[in-house]
Amino acid sequence: MKHQPAKAKRKETVERRRAITREGIKRPRDTGATKEDIERKLATSATPKHTKGSAVVKLKVNSIRVAQEVFQWRTPQYNMIPSDDHIFEMAKAIQNTGALEPILVFPVADKYYVIDGHHRLAAYITAGWQGSIPARVFTGSLDEAMREALKLNIKNKLPMTTRDKTEAAWRLVKEGRPGEWPDSISETMKLTGVGKGTVNRMRSAWETLHNAQHSDPKTGEPPRDISWAQAQAKIKGNGEPQFNYDSWLEERAQNLAEDIVRAKLHLAKDIEVTALALEMLDPQLPEALMAHWAPPRPFDPDAVDEDELDEDGERLPF
């Protein structure tokens, strides 16, 4: 039996004991690659063949790439605190017990793009992992890989928000052209969880945006990076910029969320402390938030307001 050299053993121990904090969370750099970029690489580069099945391969971290626009279906900068907490817990697990379950990657030339496992990759980087990273290689097409990423995101332990799912459905619709949809309505519903009416409205909107008045004069195509909210506003405004309250509200909320993250305020860490702090800021704030988040009550014709009752709880005669 071979013994590990003392120097290597000490180095491994130091790496495994590195202190991990939420403030020290690191994420892999996004390459910014688009679907078109990856398609060009696939067309001009030889990609190594991999055996189909569930065999696990070992990859060096410098061979792994991230293309958020292609394989990440979550809305950027949303759900930031749960995402950080998820990475933090996995980084601690790596430090304590070693490698996590394999990530799923798509081979392009001599690199591998993450299909599923963005948070796990961030956890490896945060933990200062020095070893290879277990991975399974996806052997289907690029379109199949993109949809596999969506399927796995929907099932993930860190759930996709309603906004994520809506934008995912819109992305799928934008993959097609009027009358040429790569996914059926039922397939889009199954992949994203949105309703049939929403998919139909999105298709109709995408057809409208292909009209000359909405398309880019140079390409004859509508802008691919347009969001669902922007598309609706553009159509309603007939191409003229208009103030959109929902977009304004979302931008203000996003700025506040980023301020909270920058200030390293972990509001979900101790709900009791957070609740008390909000009450200290404004005694009316917790009640106002609860009223805002509460689902609307159905109309009840027999309901009676408190000011309509006497001291004994009987309804006043006037």
The reply to whether 186 and 225 lie within a common domain is yes
The reply to whether 138 and 269 lie within a common domain is no
Q: What percent of the chain has pLDDT over 90?
A: 35
Q: What is the pLDDT of residues 86-103, one digit of tens each?
A: 899 999 999 988 999 999
Residue 52 forms part of a structural domain: yes
Q: Residue 59 in 3-state DSSP?
A: strand
Q: What is the pLDDT of residues 236-247, one digit of tens each?
A: 775 444 555 566
More confident residue, 248 or 33: 33
State how far the Cα of 184 lies from the Cα of 171, in Å rounded to an integer: 14
More confident residue, 287 or 187: 187
More confident residue, 239 or 205: 205
The reply to whether 155 and 182 lie within a common domain is no
The reply to whether 94 and 194 lie within a common domain is no
Q: What is the pLDDT of residue 46?
A: 76
The reply to whether 178 and 88 lie within a common domain is no
The reply to whether 227 and 137 lie within a common domain is no
The reply to whether 223 and 120 lie within a common domain is no
| Long-range contact set of residues 74-78: C-beta below 8 Å, sequence gap at least 24 | 74/153, 74/160, 74/161, 74/164, 75/161, 75/163, 75/164, 75/167, 77/254, 77/257, 77/258, 78/161, 78/163, 78/164
The residue-averaged pLDDT of 114-120 equals: 94
The reply to whether 270 and 136 lie within a common domain is no
Q: State the chain's mean pLDDT as an integer.
A: 79
Q: What is the pLDDT of residues 27-75, one digit of tens each?
A: 899 999 999 999 999 998 876 666 555 678 999 999 999 999 999 888 7
> Which of 105, 136, 159 represents a domain boundary (last residue)?
159
Residue ranges making up the domain that contains 200:
161-242
Q: What is the pLDDT of residues 140-185, one digit of tens each?
A: 999 999 999 999 987 765 667 788 888 999 999 999 988 899 999 9
If one counts the domains in the chain, the total is: 3
The reply to whether 152 and 165 lie within a common domain is no
Residue 170 forms part of a structural domain: yes
